[in-house]
Amino acid sequence: MDKLQKPIYRLPNSKGYYGEFGGMYVPEILIPALEELSDAFEKYRKDDKFLTELEYYQTEYNCRPTPITFADRLTEFYGKAKIYLKREDLNHTGAHKINNALGQILLAKKLKKERIIAETGAGQHGVAVATVCAKFNLQCEVYMGEVDYERQLPNVLRMQMLGAKVHKVTSGTKTLKDATNEAIRDWVTNVNNTHYIIGSVVGPHPYPLIVREFQSIIGKETKKQILRAENRMPNYIVACVGGGSNAIGIFYPFINTNVQLIGIEAAGKGVDTPYHCSSLNYGRVGIFQGMKTYLLQDENGQVIEPYSISAGLDYPGVGPEHSHLKEIQRVKYFSVTDQEALNAAYLLSKTEGILPALESAHALAYLQYLMPQTLKNEIVVVNLSGRGDKDLQTYIKNFQGEK
Protein backbone atom coordinates (compact mmCIF):
# COMPACT_ATOMS: atom_id res chain seq x y z
CA MET A 1 0.00 0.00 0.00
CA ASP A 2 1.34 3.45 -0.92
CA LYS A 3 2.42 5.67 1.90
CA LEU A 4 -0.15 8.36 2.68
CA GLN A 5 0.91 11.76 1.39
CA LYS A 6 0.80 14.83 3.58
CA PRO A 7 -2.12 17.04 2.41
CA ILE A 8 -1.03 19.93 0.21
CA TYR A 9 -1.77 23.31 1.80
CA ARG A 10 -4.34 25.20 -0.30
CA LEU A 11 -6.01 28.08 1.53
CA PRO A 12 -8.09 30.20 1.85
CA ASN A 13 -11.36 28.49 0.98
CA SER A 14 -14.01 30.15 -1.19
CA LYS A 15 -15.31 32.16 1.79
CA GLY A 16 -11.89 33.58 2.60
CA TYR A 17 -11.18 31.42 5.64
CA TYR A 18 -7.89 29.88 6.72
CA GLY A 19 -9.29 27.21 8.98
CA GLU A 20 -11.44 29.20 11.42
CA PHE A 21 -9.68 32.51 10.69
CA GLY A 22 -10.31 35.19 8.09
CA GLY A 23 -13.68 35.98 6.55
CA MET A 24 -15.30 39.23 5.48
CA TYR A 25 -16.64 41.11 8.54
CA VAL A 26 -17.47 44.50 7.00
CA PRO A 27 -20.40 46.89 6.51
CA GLU A 28 -22.84 45.85 3.77
CA ILE A 29 -21.78 48.81 1.62
CA LEU A 30 -18.30 47.33 1.17
CA ILE A 31 -19.38 43.83 0.10
CA PRO A 32 -19.83 44.70 -3.62
CA ALA A 33 -16.39 46.36 -3.73
CA LEU A 34 -14.73 43.36 -2.08
CA GLU A 35 -16.50 40.96 -4.44
CA GLU A 36 -15.49 43.09 -7.43
CA LEU A 37 -11.90 43.09 -6.21
CA SER A 38 -11.94 39.34 -5.62
CA ASP A 39 -13.33 38.65 -9.09
CA ALA A 40 -10.76 40.95 -10.70
CA PHE A 41 -7.91 39.35 -8.81
CA GLU A 42 -9.00 35.83 -9.76
CA LYS A 43 -9.23 36.92 -13.39
CA TYR A 44 -5.97 38.82 -13.69
CA ARG A 45 -3.79 36.48 -11.61
CA LYS A 46 -4.20 34.06 -14.55
CA ASP A 47 -3.98 36.69 -17.30
CA ASP A 48 -0.70 36.51 -19.21
CA LYS A 49 -0.80 40.17 -20.27
CA PHE A 50 -1.37 41.36 -16.69
CA LEU A 51 1.37 39.09 -15.32
CA THR A 52 3.81 40.23 -18.01
CA GLU A 53 3.12 43.86 -17.14
CA LEU A 54 3.58 43.18 -13.42
CA GLU A 55 6.82 41.30 -14.08
CA TYR A 56 8.09 44.23 -16.16
CA TYR A 57 7.54 46.70 -13.34
CA GLN A 58 8.90 44.35 -10.68
CA THR A 59 12.08 43.96 -12.73
CA GLU A 60 12.64 47.31 -14.41
CA TYR A 61 11.15 49.60 -11.76
CA ASN A 62 11.45 47.67 -8.50
CA CYS A 63 14.87 46.12 -9.24
CA ARG A 64 13.86 42.50 -8.63
CA PRO A 65 15.01 39.87 -8.05
CA THR A 66 16.58 41.04 -4.81
CA PRO A 67 19.68 39.00 -3.91
CA ILE A 68 20.32 36.72 -0.99
CA THR A 69 23.54 37.73 0.75
CA PHE A 70 25.73 35.28 2.64
CA ALA A 71 26.42 37.03 5.96
CA ASP A 72 29.88 35.59 6.49
CA ARG A 73 30.90 37.81 9.40
CA LEU A 74 27.57 37.37 11.21
CA THR A 75 27.93 33.62 10.63
CA GLU A 76 31.43 33.78 12.11
CA PHE A 77 30.11 35.73 15.10
CA TYR A 78 27.69 32.93 16.01
CA GLY A 79 29.98 30.11 14.89
CA LYS A 80 27.15 27.81 13.89
CA ALA A 81 24.91 27.49 10.79
CA LYS A 82 25.41 29.61 7.66
CA ILE A 83 23.29 32.78 7.70
CA TYR A 84 21.84 34.24 4.51
CA LEU A 85 19.86 37.48 4.25
CA LYS A 86 17.03 37.93 1.74
CA ARG A 87 17.59 41.54 0.74
CA GLU A 88 14.17 43.16 0.53
CA ASP A 89 15.89 46.30 1.79
CA LEU A 90 17.25 46.68 -1.76
CA ASN A 91 13.82 47.11 -3.33
CA HIS A 92 12.90 50.51 -4.75
CA THR A 93 11.63 52.56 -1.74
CA GLY A 94 13.65 50.37 0.65
CA ALA A 95 11.28 47.60 1.77
CA HIS A 96 9.12 44.70 0.64
CA LYS A 97 5.96 46.83 0.64
CA ILE A 98 6.26 47.90 -2.99
CA ASN A 99 5.88 44.29 -4.21
CA ASN A 100 2.22 44.42 -3.18
CA ALA A 101 1.70 48.09 -4.05
CA LEU A 102 2.69 47.46 -7.67
CA GLY A 103 0.33 44.53 -7.98
CA GLN A 104 -2.60 46.37 -6.42
CA ILE A 105 -2.11 49.59 -8.41
CA LEU A 106 -2.33 47.56 -11.63
CA LEU A 107 -5.54 45.94 -10.31
CA ALA A 108 -6.93 49.39 -9.40
CA LYS A 109 -6.32 50.60 -12.93
CA LYS A 110 -8.16 47.55 -14.31
CA LEU A 111 -11.06 48.45 -11.98
CA LYS A 112 -10.91 52.06 -13.29
CA LYS A 113 -10.49 53.54 -9.81
CA GLU A 114 -9.46 57.20 -9.78
CA ARG A 115 -8.32 57.53 -6.18
CA ILE A 116 -6.09 55.43 -3.93
CA ILE A 117 -6.03 55.40 -0.13
CA ALA A 118 -3.72 53.55 2.24
CA GLU A 119 -2.80 53.20 5.90
CA THR A 120 0.78 53.15 7.13
CA GLY A 121 2.69 52.63 10.37
CA ALA A 122 6.42 52.74 9.74
CA GLY A 123 5.70 54.67 6.56
CA GLN A 124 7.19 52.11 4.17
CA HIS A 125 3.80 51.02 2.84
CA GLY A 126 2.70 54.65 2.56
CA VAL A 127 5.85 55.50 0.62
CA ALA A 128 5.35 52.49 -1.65
CA VAL A 129 1.74 53.47 -2.39
CA ALA A 130 2.66 57.13 -2.94
CA THR A 131 5.41 55.95 -5.30
CA VAL A 132 3.18 53.80 -7.49
CA CYS A 133 0.46 56.48 -7.51
CA ALA A 134 3.01 58.99 -8.79
CA LYS A 135 4.19 56.50 -11.40
CA PHE A 136 0.67 55.73 -12.63
CA ASN A 137 -0.80 59.23 -12.12
CA LEU A 138 -3.49 58.43 -9.55
CA GLN A 139 -4.63 60.56 -6.60
CA CYS A 140 -3.17 59.28 -3.32
CA GLU A 141 -4.13 59.87 0.32
CA VAL A 142 -2.41 58.10 3.22
CA TYR A 143 -3.57 57.77 6.84
CA MET A 144 -0.89 57.70 9.52
CA GLY A 145 -1.14 57.84 13.32
CA GLU A 146 0.28 60.96 14.95
CA VAL A 147 2.80 58.94 16.98
CA ASP A 148 4.11 57.24 13.84
CA TYR A 149 3.95 60.54 11.94
CA GLU A 150 6.42 62.06 14.40
CA ARG A 151 8.79 59.09 14.76
CA GLN A 152 8.84 58.38 11.01
CA LEU A 153 8.99 61.97 9.75
CA PRO A 154 11.47 61.20 6.92
CA ASN A 155 8.88 58.87 5.38
CA VAL A 156 6.16 61.51 5.80
CA LEU A 157 8.30 63.94 3.81
CA ARG A 158 8.95 61.31 1.16
CA MET A 159 5.22 60.68 0.72
CA GLN A 160 4.57 64.40 0.42
CA MET A 161 7.35 64.84 -2.15
CA LEU A 162 5.75 62.02 -4.14
CA GLY A 163 2.49 64.00 -4.23
CA ALA A 164 0.49 62.15 -1.58
CA LYS A 165 -1.72 63.84 1.00
CA VAL A 166 -0.83 62.49 4.45
CA HIS A 167 -3.57 62.57 7.08
CA LYS A 168 -2.31 62.70 10.67
CA VAL A 169 -4.65 60.55 12.79
CA THR A 170 -5.05 61.81 16.36
CA SER A 171 -7.65 59.35 17.68
CA GLY A 172 -7.06 56.32 19.91
CA THR A 173 -3.44 55.26 20.29
CA LYS A 174 -2.48 57.43 17.29
CA THR A 175 -0.72 54.48 15.66
CA LEU A 176 -1.35 51.92 12.89
CA LYS A 177 -4.63 50.54 14.31
CA ASP A 178 -6.19 53.99 14.30
CA ALA A 179 -4.77 54.89 10.88
CA THR A 180 -6.42 51.74 9.54
CA ASN A 181 -9.75 52.65 11.16
CA GLU A 182 -9.69 56.06 9.47
CA ALA A 183 -8.77 54.55 6.11
CA ILE A 184 -11.72 52.16 6.38
CA ARG A 185 -14.07 55.07 7.18
CA ASP A 186 -12.80 56.90 4.09
CA TRP A 187 -13.32 53.80 1.96
CA VAL A 188 -16.91 53.33 3.17
CA THR A 189 -17.63 56.94 2.17
CA ASN A 190 -15.89 56.85 -1.22
CA VAL A 191 -16.10 53.20 -2.24
CA ASN A 192 -17.31 53.87 -5.80
CA ASN A 193 -14.22 55.71 -7.03
CA THR A 194 -11.60 54.65 -4.45
CA HIS A 195 -9.38 51.59 -4.09
CA TYR A 196 -7.93 50.89 -0.66
CA ILE A 197 -4.43 49.38 -0.94
CA ILE A 198 -4.05 47.47 2.32
CA GLY A 199 -0.39 46.96 3.09
CA SER A 200 -0.38 43.70 5.02
CA VAL A 201 -2.08 40.28 5.04
CA VAL A 202 -4.88 41.66 7.22
CA GLY A 203 -8.44 42.86 6.76
CA PRO A 204 -11.41 41.25 5.05
CA HIS A 205 -11.14 38.69 2.25
CA PRO A 206 -9.71 38.93 -0.41
CA TYR A 207 -6.98 41.25 0.97
CA PRO A 208 -4.99 38.64 2.95
CA LEU A 209 -4.94 36.44 -0.17
CA ILE A 210 -4.04 39.26 -2.58
CA VAL A 211 -1.21 40.61 -0.44
CA ARG A 212 0.15 37.08 0.17
CA GLU A 213 0.19 36.32 -3.54
CA PHE A 214 1.96 39.55 -4.49
CA GLN A 215 4.46 39.14 -1.64
CA SER A 216 5.15 35.44 -2.31
CA ILE A 217 7.65 36.59 -4.93
CA ILE A 218 10.03 36.85 -1.95
CA GLY A 219 9.86 33.15 -1.12
CA LYS A 220 9.83 32.05 -4.76
CA GLU A 221 13.07 33.92 -5.40
CA THR A 222 14.59 32.70 -2.14
CA LYS A 223 13.93 29.07 -3.07
CA LYS A 224 15.67 29.44 -6.45
CA GLN A 225 18.55 31.46 -5.03
CA ILE A 226 19.39 29.18 -2.10
CA LEU A 227 19.27 26.11 -4.36
CA ARG A 228 21.67 27.87 -6.71
CA ALA A 229 23.97 28.95 -3.86
CA GLU A 230 23.92 25.78 -1.73
CA ASN A 231 22.26 23.14 -3.93
CA ARG A 232 19.76 22.43 -1.14
CA MET A 233 16.93 23.96 0.83
CA PRO A 234 17.53 26.01 4.00
CA ASN A 235 16.88 24.44 7.38
CA TYR A 236 15.28 27.57 8.87
CA ILE A 237 13.59 30.73 7.62
CA VAL A 238 13.10 33.61 10.08
CA ALA A 239 10.97 36.74 9.54
CA CYS A 240 9.39 39.43 11.70
CA VAL A 241 5.60 39.49 12.10
CA GLY A 242 3.39 42.52 12.67
CA GLY A 243 0.45 42.23 10.31
CA GLY A 244 2.64 39.64 8.66
CA SER A 245 3.15 40.42 4.95
CA ASN A 246 6.91 40.01 4.68
CA ALA A 247 6.75 36.80 6.72
CA ILE A 248 3.94 35.19 4.72
CA GLY A 249 5.70 36.34 1.55
CA ILE A 250 8.81 34.32 2.32
CA PHE A 251 7.03 31.47 4.18
CA TYR A 252 4.29 30.61 1.70
CA PRO A 253 6.40 28.98 -1.05
CA PHE A 254 8.02 26.80 1.66
CA ILE A 255 4.85 25.68 3.49
CA ASN A 256 4.74 22.29 1.73
CA THR A 257 8.42 21.58 2.52
CA ASN A 258 10.28 20.46 5.65
CA VAL A 259 11.91 23.88 6.19
CA GLN A 260 11.35 25.18 9.74
CA LEU A 261 9.49 28.50 9.57
CA ILE A 262 9.85 30.98 12.45
CA GLY A 263 7.94 34.23 12.92
CA ILE A 264 9.06 36.88 15.41
CA GLU A 265 6.69 39.31 17.09
CA ALA A 266 7.53 42.42 19.09
CA ALA A 267 7.79 41.84 22.86
CA GLY A 268 8.30 45.57 23.36
CA LYS A 269 9.33 46.27 26.95
CA GLY A 270 8.56 42.66 27.86
CA VAL A 271 5.59 40.32 27.54
CA ASP A 272 5.22 40.46 31.33
CA THR A 273 4.36 44.16 30.95
CA PRO A 274 1.43 45.84 29.15
CA TYR A 275 3.90 47.20 26.57
CA HIS A 276 4.14 44.67 23.76
CA CYS A 277 2.29 43.55 20.62
CA SER A 278 2.76 39.79 20.70
CA SER A 279 -0.77 38.90 19.63
CA LEU A 280 -0.08 35.34 18.44
CA ASN A 281 1.61 34.35 21.67
CA TYR A 282 -0.48 36.35 24.16
CA GLY A 283 -3.69 37.28 22.34
CA ARG A 284 -7.10 35.67 21.99
CA VAL A 285 -9.32 35.03 18.99
CA GLY A 286 -11.63 37.89 18.04
CA ILE A 287 -13.06 39.98 15.19
CA PHE A 288 -11.09 43.05 14.16
CA GLN A 289 -10.98 45.28 11.07
CA GLY A 290 -12.86 42.85 8.87
CA MET A 291 -11.26 39.56 9.94
CA LYS A 292 -11.33 36.83 12.57
CA THR A 293 -7.84 36.40 14.01
CA TYR A 294 -5.68 36.55 17.13
CA LEU A 295 -5.90 39.91 18.92
CA LEU A 296 -4.62 41.58 22.04
CA GLN A 297 -7.83 41.95 24.11
CA ASP A 298 -8.86 42.51 27.69
CA GLU A 299 -11.32 40.31 29.59
CA ASN A 300 -14.22 42.32 28.09
CA GLY A 301 -13.06 41.78 24.53
CA GLN A 302 -11.80 45.34 24.11
CA VAL A 303 -8.67 45.72 21.99
CA ILE A 304 -5.60 46.44 24.12
CA GLU A 305 -3.26 49.19 23.01
CA PRO A 306 -0.20 47.58 21.42
CA TYR A 307 3.33 48.85 21.88
CA SER A 308 6.61 48.42 20.02
CA ILE A 309 9.64 50.60 19.40
CA SER A 310 9.05 49.62 15.77
CA ALA A 311 6.17 51.47 14.12
CA GLY A 312 5.66 48.71 11.56
CA LEU A 313 5.03 46.05 14.23
CA ASP A 314 2.85 48.23 16.46
CA TYR A 315 -0.49 46.50 15.68
CA PRO A 316 -2.85 44.63 18.04
CA GLY A 317 -3.65 41.78 15.64
CA VAL A 318 -2.11 39.67 12.93
CA GLY A 319 -3.06 38.32 9.52
CA PRO A 320 -5.55 35.41 9.69
CA GLU A 321 -3.27 33.05 7.80
CA HIS A 322 -0.64 33.44 10.50
CA SER A 323 -3.28 32.57 13.09
CA HIS A 324 -4.06 29.39 11.16
CA LEU A 325 -0.39 28.50 10.70
CA LYS A 326 0.04 28.84 14.45
CA GLU A 327 -2.98 26.62 15.12
CA ILE A 328 -1.74 23.83 12.84
CA GLN A 329 1.79 24.30 14.23
CA ARG A 330 3.32 24.77 10.78
CA VAL A 331 5.03 27.99 11.88
CA LYS A 332 6.54 28.64 15.31
CA TYR A 333 6.10 32.15 16.66
CA PHE A 334 8.31 33.81 19.27
CA SER A 335 8.90 37.39 20.40
CA VAL A 336 11.89 39.62 21.19
CA THR A 337 12.14 42.90 23.09
CA ASP A 338 12.93 46.41 21.93
CA GLN A 339 16.43 46.21 23.38
CA GLU A 340 17.14 42.85 21.75
CA ALA A 341 16.07 44.28 18.39
CA LEU A 342 18.25 47.36 18.85
CA ASN A 343 21.24 45.20 19.77
CA ALA A 344 20.69 43.02 16.69
CA ALA A 345 20.54 46.09 14.43
CA TYR A 346 23.82 47.40 15.81
CA LEU A 347 25.40 43.96 15.40
CA LEU A 348 24.38 43.58 11.76
CA SER A 349 25.54 47.11 10.99
CA LYS A 350 28.93 46.46 12.54
CA THR A 351 29.52 42.98 11.08
CA GLU A 352 27.96 43.25 7.62
CA GLY A 353 27.73 46.97 6.85
CA ILE A 354 23.94 46.70 6.51
CA LEU A 355 21.63 48.93 8.55
CA PRO A 356 18.31 47.06 8.91
CA ALA A 357 14.84 48.40 9.55
CA LEU A 358 13.74 48.02 13.17
CA GLU A 359 11.11 45.54 11.99
CA SER A 360 13.74 43.30 10.40
CA ALA A 361 15.96 43.70 13.46
CA HIS A 362 13.39 41.69 15.43
CA ALA A 363 13.98 38.70 13.17
CA LEU A 364 17.73 39.19 13.45
CA ALA A 365 17.45 39.36 17.24
CA TYR A 366 16.03 35.85 17.42
CA LEU A 367 19.30 34.49 16.05
CA GLN A 368 20.78 34.73 19.56
CA TYR A 369 18.31 31.99 20.58
CA LEU A 370 18.21 29.99 17.35
CA MET A 371 21.88 29.82 16.42
CA PRO A 372 23.10 27.82 19.46
CA GLN A 373 20.61 25.09 18.43
CA THR A 374 21.94 24.85 14.86
CA LEU A 375 24.73 22.79 13.30
CA LYS A 376 27.54 24.15 11.17
CA ASN A 377 26.28 22.33 8.10
CA GLU A 378 22.81 23.91 8.37
CA ILE A 379 21.44 27.03 6.67
CA VAL A 380 19.38 29.90 8.13
CA VAL A 381 17.69 32.52 5.94
CA VAL A 382 16.55 35.77 7.56
CA ASN A 383 14.15 37.98 5.63
CA LEU A 384 15.61 41.49 5.77
CA SER A 385 12.29 43.18 5.07
CA GLY A 386 13.55 46.77 4.92
CA ARG A 387 16.42 49.16 5.39
CA GLY A 388 16.98 51.28 8.45
CA ASP A 389 17.21 54.83 7.09
CA LYS A 390 13.72 55.59 8.41
CA ASP A 391 14.75 54.44 11.91
CA LEU A 392 17.95 56.47 12.23
CA GLN A 393 16.44 58.85 14.80
CA THR A 394 15.46 55.89 17.00
CA TYR A 395 18.85 54.22 16.57
CA ILE A 396 20.71 57.43 17.40
CA LYS A 397 18.51 58.10 20.43
CA ASN A 398 19.16 54.60 21.84
CA PHE A 399 22.79 54.12 20.78
CA GLN A 400 25.03 53.71 23.81
CA GLY A 401 28.36 54.00 22.03
CA GLU A 402 30.76 51.25 20.99
CA LYS A 403 29.17 47.81 21.10
Q: What is the set of active-site residues?
A: 97, 119, 385
Residues 218 and 65: their CA atoms lie apart, in Å, by: 8
CA dihedral 393, 395, 401, 403 (to 10 degrees): -160
Pick from 336, 126, 101, 108: which is nearest to 214 by CA?
A: 101
The Cα 335–Cα 164 span in angstroms is 34
Contact in structure between 8 and 256 (CB atoms under 8 Å): yes
Helix, strand or coil, per DSSP, at residue 1: coil
Q: Choose among 271, 277, 274, 270: nearest CA to 244.
A: 277
H helices within 153-236, ranges in order? 153-161, 176-189, 207-215, 217-230
| Contact by Cβ (8 Å): 325, 280 | no
Q: Pairing between strand 260-268 and 331-337?
A: parallel
CA–CA separation, 133 and 326 (whole Å)? 35
Task: Report the C-alpha gap between 315 and 241 in whole angstroms.
Answer: 10
Among 198, 201, 221, 199, residue whose Cα is nearest residue 209: 201
- Rounded CA-CA distance 304/307 in Å is 10
Indicate the Cα dihedral angle 321, 326, 331, 337, nearest 10°.
100
Residue 160 near residue 142, CB atoms below 8 Å: no
CA distance 41 to 27: 21
